[in-house]
């Protein structure tokens, strides 16, 4: 999600049981649906003149689910699917995005092995393999420790991420009030790389991202807040820079009817 606006945003020998603090309780059939709202601002400038500006609000739903498991590996590998559909407030066609993640738990925590993405605004799908896997969620989060997630990739853009546990808070969402949720903060301050737009290659000159997740005991993520900014540029026909600046904020809150198998 968010690629078209330069927002990079942006997850034992036997199966580990879902502990109270697993960010994704893994059992095939587990399913969570969220109310999602996104605010986007973007502009294109050339030679000091604003050529285009976008300020857009959209809303819809995000559905996360554990769809399968490969138990043949030393640590079982789960396929986790994220499906997002957002409709612009002004009306029009929904912007959709589907991401399939292969994930596993071990003694360190939840690790992302690969991601595969398809979006309505993308000309082709994208597969990213991570070796070593990303440490998306560390079991040390409960103790408030910081850990390196790894370098997340979106096309040719790279986002080195770290994360930390940030205490516990009570959160109220459409699914109800969840007490003592573990708060986890994800930090990316060095987004870099390139991306293709309008048949040109734009170089990302700066970018930052923040993600905050609230995790309820035995339920998983009940609320997400994701904020990101980015600046990218290329040379216009006259040799002067064409600059794109973008910022977005996305909030997702758990709806009633979620399924978490014990």
* pLDDT for residue 155: 84
Residue in this structure with the two tokens 């690969």, named with its chain if needed: 114
Q: C-alpha 174: how far from its chain's center?
A: 21
The list of the chain residues with pLDDT below 70 reads 1-21, 120-124, 262
Cβ pair 162, 151 in contact under 8 A? no
Whole-angstrom Cα distance, residue 115 to residue 95?
Answer: 19
Supply the pLDDT for residue 188. Answer: 95
**Beta strands 77-88 and 109-119, pairing class:** unpaired
| pLDDT score of 2 | 29
Q: Is 255 exposed, middle or buried (0-12, 13-18, 19+ CB in 10 A)?
A: middle
pLDDT at position 230 is 93
Residue-level pLDDT at 183: 96
Q: For residues 107 and 139, is the Cβ–Cβ distance under 8 A?
A: yes
Give one DSSP letter per residue of 29-55, joined into a string.
T-EEEEEEEEEEEEEEEETTEEEEEEE
Instruction: Kindly report the backbone phi and psi dihedral angles of residue 26, in degrees, each rounded to the nearest multiple of 5, phi listed first.
Output: -95, 110
Closest CA to 105 of 208, 16, 45, 183: 16
Q: Give the model's pLDDT for residue 47.
A: 84
Whole-number pLDDT of residue 75 = 84
Q: What proportion of the chain, given as a percentage, has pLDDT over 70?
A: 90
Q: What's the predicted TM-score (pTM) here?
A: 0.87
Give Cβ neighbours of residue 166 (< 8 Å, ≥ 6 apart): 144, 183, 184, 185, 212
Closest CA to 182 of 208, 150, 158, 217: 217
Q: Shortest CA distance to 136 belongs to which of 248, 231, 11, 26?
A: 11
Q: Domain boundaries in the chain?
A: 3-254
């Amino acid at each position: 999600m968010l690629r078209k606006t330069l927002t990079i945003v942006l997850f034992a020998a036997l199966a580990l049981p879902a502990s109270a603090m697993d960010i994704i309780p893994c059992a095939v059939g587990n399913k969570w649906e969220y109310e999602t709202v996104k605010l986007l601002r973007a502009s294109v400038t050339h030679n000091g003149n604003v050529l285009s500006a976008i300020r857009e609000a959209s809303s819809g739903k995000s559905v996360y689910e554990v769809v399968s498991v490969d138990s043949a590996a030393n640590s079982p590998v789960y396929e986790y699917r994220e499906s997002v559909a957002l409709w612009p407030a002004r009306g029009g066609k929904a912007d959709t995005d589907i991401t399939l993640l292969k994930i596993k738990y071990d003694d360190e925590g939840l690790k992302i092995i690969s991601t595969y993405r398809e979006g309505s605004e993308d000309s082709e799908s994208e597969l990213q393999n991570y070796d070593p896997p990303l440490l998306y969620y560390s079991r040390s989060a409960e103790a408030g420790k910081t850990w390196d997630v790894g370098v997340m990739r979106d096309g040719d853009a790279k986002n080195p991420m770290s994360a930390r546990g940030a205490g516990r808070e009570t959160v109220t969402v459409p699914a109800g009030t969840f007490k003592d949720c573990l708060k986890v903060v994800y930090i990316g301050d060095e987004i870099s790389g390139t991306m293709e737009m309008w048949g040109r290659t734009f170089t990302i000159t700066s970018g930052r991202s923040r993600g905050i997740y609230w995790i309820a005991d035995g339920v998983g993520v009940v609320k997400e807040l994701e904020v990101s900014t980015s600046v990218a540029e290329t040379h216009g026909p006259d040799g002067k820079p064409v600059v794109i600046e973008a910022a977005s904020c996305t909030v997702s809150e758990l709806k009633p009817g979620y399924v978490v198998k014990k």
